[in-house]
Structure 1
Amino acid sequence: MTRSIITISAIAMALLTGCKDASQTIVEQPLYVSTTSVHAPVISQYRTFKGLVVPAEQTPIAFRREGEVQHVLVKAGDLVKKGQMIAKLDESKERQAVNDAQAQYTLAIRQLQRGEELHARQMISKAELDELTANKQLAEANFHYATNQLNYTRLFAPFAGKVSDVFKQRFERVAIGEPVLNLYQNDKVYVRIELSDNVLAMVNPNSQNMSYKPLATFSGVEQTYPLDYLEHTSEPNEQTQTYQMYLTMAQPESEILPGTSVSVSVDMVKAGIASIDGYNIPMTALQAGNRDGEFFVWKLKGDIVTKVPVTIDQVNGEGAIVSSGVAQGDVLVNSNLRKLREGKHVDVVEKDQ
């Protein structure tokens, strides 16, 4: 009996000890990291932006009614004059409708003329004359409507330019407003370049510095040309997260075609744009994302880290120049990046000032 009591006591003590061990809090091991500070921005007076020639005022041209394409009178690369017919729909039904409406209109005019003579001799009432007048007006409206529908089967160039694309061919059906071709103004050259947010923030279209003309060098063309500012987008590109600026010039004698690559040289001081390229940070502070060209840094505030996306403009011997995502004075973690998590507490063992 005594032995049984001792055995039960031993089992109870073991169970209590096990519960105590399970209830103990697991202490998280500290994560030691080194950090680096973001110093003054990288500054240069002259910058070159890569760009592309795009069609000037490119406009999709479409019919105002649906139907079957009978003729497309132009092809890509053709020059057209303002008012020139460039496409035509099958108009057999519309022409028949015009003939019917014209016959009804002619009949209504003659009936009204006879009615006016009879009313003058008091052979018909004023109400009957009013009915003949209304019939004539209705027939006239139907005739004009049918004529417009016939005109809508023909497509005319709204301005002089060059055809860039043709989307429809003969016997294809087209819906109302569906583009048949694209037309652009070939007497102008539009150049599109990409700008980071910190450069675009310094662009003021109302500034006197906007009279400055950067120089463009086109692929395959020896001569350089001055460009005028046209406009820029207010929303970033979804993929590149950069803003698009458009510059323009008159078309030279030797035509520069859309799709031509171009280098735009800018004196940032004369242009009145802050000459900040970005901030130089070591490669060890960068963490690649899941997509190509996607990079992050880990900013340290107090002892807590935060993951921030950045844009890399270029890589040099000292690291990478980051144009967005960091600012002077930021403290970045540059070790054990893969062990970091959003909001994690870390201990700093080495600081690079």
Structure 2
Amino acid sequence: MTSLSKFSFMAILLSLGVLQGCSKTDQQTTEEKPLRPVRTLVVGAVENANWREFPGTVDAAQKAELGFRVTGKLHSLNVNEGQIVKEGEVLAKLDDTDFLIQLKSRQADYQQAHDDFLRGKSLIGKGVISQSDFSKLQAQDIAAQAALESAQRNLEYTELKAPFGGRIAKRYVENYEEVSAMQPIYALQDISSLLVKVDIPESLMITAQEGTDPEVQALFSSIPGESFPLKLKEVSSRADEATRLFNVTFSMPANPKYNILPGMSVTVRGRPPQAKAQDGAIFVPPQVVQEDGDGRYVWTVSHEGDSTGVVNRRAVTTGAIQNNGIQILSGLEEGDEVVTAGMSKMHSGLQVRLTTEGSK
């Protein structure tokens, strides 16, 4: 091999070595170039938006403390606690012996007074008695009749009857006791319809819209997985001076499947009627939405691996900003992944390293 050929061969080898070294250096530079880290969020549709919960108490729609209207000795107690009674049913009776004697006496007095009145009426026409004497006979007849009617009512009052159908919630006395007029004998509750009472803060009263019917439910810890619809009945117009809370009463139909009784604790869950329209809506943190001359947009992510992806710009239409973020009316769907942090100088097609926050 000539000297020139040897020189050319060595030059080629050196050139290949340099090129290979440069290729390796470029490859290492590419491999070592760090990806921009971004934080992302998987978009989810809102379910049951804007619910608020408050502790409450169940009460009877109608209730009464029942007692006799006259004083006497108990003769019989006909019903026990927890028993269902009908309207007009006799619940208890007093010993009526003295009341019967009183009635007979008043009947005799009235008969005598009425006979005297009838005789006087015939005599005054003949001029036998004066008008003054006749007026006295007439007054005595009226008084005797009133006394008789009072005795009849008192005898009727020896029976304690249910003013409405319901359940006996409590019995306060034992049989054969002496009881006074209007002393409580039974507590009666009508549980065919129930009331749910709850106290709510004045901040919600201020934002409540008059004429709207909020969506409200009753929840019981002993009945998991079920809710019971409530209907607004009345709202107090003045807050409690100590707590600054307003008392709100809802009606709830009795449920034959469950023995829900007055005095039970309940959780009242409610939201304004306009909140239901947001069920299924998509919300994102406000900083996710960017804006330029072409309108509002977000950066979405397409995964290329477990921790890397490519970002792309996507136009969106937005709604109102609320507590849970800004509503996306169009442009995003449930399951889309958006960039929430690291958006500076971003462009479509940029490869990024992902840190996922979760779902919204």
TM-score category of the 2 structures, normalised to the smaller one: 0.5 to 0.7
1:51 aligns with 2:53: no
Are the aligned partners of 1:71 and 1:169 in contact in 2 as well (CA < 8 Å)? no
Q: Distance in 2 between matches of 1:237 and 1:190?
A: 24
Deviations 1:53-86 (A, max 9, x none): 2222322222223333322222221222222222
Residue of structure 1 equivalent to 2:214: 212
| % identity of equivalent residues | 27
Q: Distance in 2 between matches of 1:271 and 1:181?
A: 45
Deviations 1:263-314 (A, max 9, x none): 3322246379xxxxxxxxxxxxxxxxxxxxxxxxxxxxxxxxxxxxxxxxxx
Q: Distance in 1 between matches of 2:275 and 2:131?
A: 78
Are the aligned partners of 1:60 and 1:179 in contact in 2 as well (CA < 8 Å)? yes
Residue of structure 2 equivalent to 1:258: 262
Q: Distance in 1 between matches of 2:164 and 2:216?
A: 29
Q: Distance in 1 between matches of 2:205 and 2:216?
A: 15
Deviations 1:140-172 (A, max 9, x none): 121112222222332222222222111122122
1:148 alignment partner, SS class: helix
Deviations 1:95-152 (A, max 9, x none): 2111101111111222222333444444444443333222211211211122222223
1:229 aligns with 2:232: yes
**Structure 1 residues 90 and 241: alpha-carbon distance in aligned structure 2, compared to 1, 3 A threshold:** farther
1:176 alignment partner, SS class: coil
Give the C-alpha shift of residue 237 in structure 1. 8.2
**Structure 1 residues 104 and 187: alpha-carbon distance in aligned structure 2, compared to 1, 3 A threshold:** same
Amino acid at match of 1:247: F
Specify the structure having the higher radius of gyration (Cα). Answer: 2
Unaligned runs of 5+ in 2: 1-48, 277-360
Q: Which stretch of the first structure deviates more once superposed, 109-118 or 70-79?
A: 109-118
Q: Distance in 2 between matches of 1:208 and 1:114?
A: 70
Q: Distance in 2 between matches of 1:230 and 1:118?
A: 66
Residue of structure 2 equivalent to 1:191: 196
Q: Distance in 2 between matches of 1:184 and 1:108?
A: 46
Residue of structure 1 equivalent to 2:139: 134
Q: Distance in 2 between matches of 1:190 and 1:271?
A: 24
**Structure 1 residues 117 and 212: alpha-carbon distance in aligned structure 2, compared to 1, 3 A threshold:** same
Root-mean-square deviation over aligned CA pairs: 2.8
In the alignment of these two chains, the number of paired residues is 225
Q: Distance in 2 between matches of 1:57 and 1:66?
A: 26
Are the aligned partners of 2:214 and 2:272 in contact in 1 as well (CA < 8 Å)? no
Residue of structure 1 equivalent to 2:114: 109
1:140 alignment partner, SS class: helix
1:132 alignment partner, SS class: helix
Unaligned runs of 5+ in 1: 1-43, 273-353
Are the aligned partners of 2:230 and 2:250 in contact in 1 as well (CA < 8 Å)? yes
Q: Distance in 1 between matches of 2:59 and 2:147?
A: 44
Amino acid at match of 2:109: Q
**Structure 1 residues 119 and 48: alpha-carbon distance in aligned structure 2, compared to 1, 3 A threshold:** closer
Residue of structure 2 equivalent to 1:283: none
Q: Distance in 2 between matches of 1:89 and 1:237?
A: 45
